Amino acid sequence: MADPFGKLVVRAHSPRKRAWMFGGLALLAVGFFYGMFELGRYDAGYRVVDAVRGALSSNERMRQLEAENSRLKGQLEAADVARRVDREGYKQVERSLGDMQSQIARLNQDLSFYRGLVQPGSSIGVKVQRLQIVPEAAAGQYRLKFILMQVGKPDKPVNGNTVISVDGLNGGKPLNLSFARISPKGRVSLSYSFRYFQDFDELLQLPPGFDATRVNVEIHSGRDASRSFRQAFVWKTQGVSVETEAKDKSNVQTESE
């Protein structure tokens, strides 16, 4: 009888050892290919150390730039605050200057008013104490507002008339416009009758191209046309016009253009 186990071969089976072997081969392959990759980069001029150094240098430069940016931002904010403070300071100075100029103007008006009350300015005893020129909406139209007042002690009523004219330039040439030419109502003069004072509010219409420079007011007392008192004021459309001339006149002839 033949032996059934005569050709049986027993072989050892170790799957773990095979796995380690394949893993090692895979690592060797990866290392080999990575080495070839680095060798190629080295031949091309690439250095890992240099790349690391460049990255570290870039990071350091970035930190420096961020610090510089923060410093400049702080300076900019400080400059902006200083600019706002200076602007507010300038505004306060401008407001204070405007208030002082307004106060000076009011004081000058009061001084002129009281001086006219205690110091007669003419033999007629009547003069303009306040004159304003206010622009209207229509082109060339203005409202002439002024106050006639007795100077000295107003012991009795006074009456008479005033003649107004405007000096200026028309096409670069001097021109005097009579009240009849600039009054829409065609008035030649304005009559007055009062004891203390009288307000006037008259509309003026200046011709196109005329540049006004001065307003003239001639005050006549009663029916005596030979006696008059003349005052001149700077043409000023903001605030109170400044008086530039005040004198007695005799044998005055009214100019008309």
**SS3 letters for the chain?**
CCCCCCCCCCCCCCHHHHHHHHHHHHHHHHHHHHHHHHHHHHHCCCCHHHHHHHHHHHHHHHHHHHHHHHHHHHHHHHHHHHHHHHHHHHHHHHHHHHHHHHHHHHHHHHHHHHHHHHCCCCCCCEEEEEEEEEECCCCCEEEEEEEEEECCCCCCCEEEEEEEEEEEEECCEEEEEEHHHHCCCCCCCEEEEECCEEEEEEEEECCCCEEEEEEEEEEEECCCCCEEEEEEEECCCCCECCEEEEEEEECCCCCCC
Give per-residue burial for 48-78: e unless 16+ CB within 10 Å, then b.
eeeeeeeeeeeeeeeeeeeeeeeeeeeeeee
Q: Which of the pair, 192 or 58, is modelled with greater confidence?
A: 192
Please give the pLDDT value at position 16: 74
Residue type, 106: R
Check pLDDT > 70 for residue 113: no
Evaluate if pTM is beyond 0.85. no
Query: And the tokens for 90?
Result: 């300038």
Q: Which of the pair, 18 or 77, is modelled with greater confidence?
A: 77
What pLDDT band is residue 164 in, cutting at 50, 70 and 90? very high
Check pLDDT > 70 for residue 178: yes
Domain residue spans of the chain:
123-250
Strand 126-135, strand 141-150: pairing: antiparallel
The CATH classification number of 123-250 equals 2.60.40
pLDDT > 70: what percent of the chain? Answer: 75
Please give the pLDDT value at position 58: 83
Check pLDDT > 60 for residue 124: yes
Cβ count within 10 A of residue 252: 16
